[in-house]
Amino acid sequence: MSEQHPQHTPRSLIVSFYGAYGRAAPGPVAVAELVRLLAPVGVDAPSVRSSVSRLKRRGLLVPARTETGGAGYALSAEARQLLEDGDRRIYAPRDDRSDSGWVIAVFSVPEAERSKRHVLRSRLAGLGFGAAAPGVWIAPAHLHEETRHTLTRLRLTPYVDLFRGTHLGFTPTAEAVARWWDLASLAKQHETFLDRHEPVLRAWQSRPDTPPEEAYRDHLLALDSWRHLPYADPGLPAELLPEGWPGGRAAEVFRGLDGRLRGAGAQFVAGS
């Protein structure tokens, strides 16, 4: 059994499992099967069960009986929408996105409901928005639909107006982007991913075999590391980023691991 890396929490790994493999299951996934499938990435049975309980409380997993009548869990409709939105982030070719404008979120929350102000800020930041001014957040225009889904799901639409637009000045757009996002922090996150997973890709590229359990382990860990990055870095246009930006290389490493390992990983999940 591999040692669990501190970045990979049991709850996050379970979400990554459902995102990559669980949606293709013919029915609910048994708890015992989740225990088997999280063991290769260092998650023990009690941690699986407690994390599943938390995801159930959040409304992302729903209890259901498996085909054999055992206890299992399926994705809620909300969770499926979240994962579908995530697919567009995780697997979209990052290099093909050009400057097609911006989506702007302008919000105002009454003082009596100020807790919603914090929720709005945290959710917009989690979607990859940058703060342009108090109550004004900005992101690449391709995030428009996902932003609508998220704000609707959280019942925050009464407090927000969304616009699409073009930056016309006065600060050069690249300088404004560097003010709206912490590019040094984003670059560091890409570099951390590369430090951890680029050697793994090189090792697999030199191997003639693909043992299913090893492939599954390395694929799930890479996905669990990568899937957060397209939210922190929302796919900013390349011409607005510093020279030598590591995001493209990180995306190539993830695509390489996904292409090399996903098929064999699915064999392990299927038990074959």
Low-confidence residues of the chain: pLDDT under 50: 1-6, 96
Q: Please give the backbone phi and psi of residue 47, each rounded to the nearest 5 degrees, phi first.
A: -70, -35
Give the tens place of pLDDT for each residue, 186-200: 999 999 999 999 999
Q: Residue 252 has which token pair? A: 């190539």
pLDDT at 146: 87
Kindly report, residue by residue over 118-144, the tens digit of the pLDDT: 888 898 998 999 999 988 999 999 888
Q: What pLDDT, on the 0 to 100 scale, is given for residue 6?
A: 47
Write down the pLDDT at residue 169. 81
- The model carries a pTM of 0.85
Q: What is the pLDDT at residue 96?
A: 47
Q: What is the pLDDT of residue 1?
A: 33
| pLDDT for the residue numbered 244 | 92
For residue 112, the model assigns a pLDDT of: 79
Nearest C-alpha neighbor of 87 from the set 152, 24, 19, 139: 19
Do the Cβ atoms of 61 and 75 come closer than 8 Å? yes
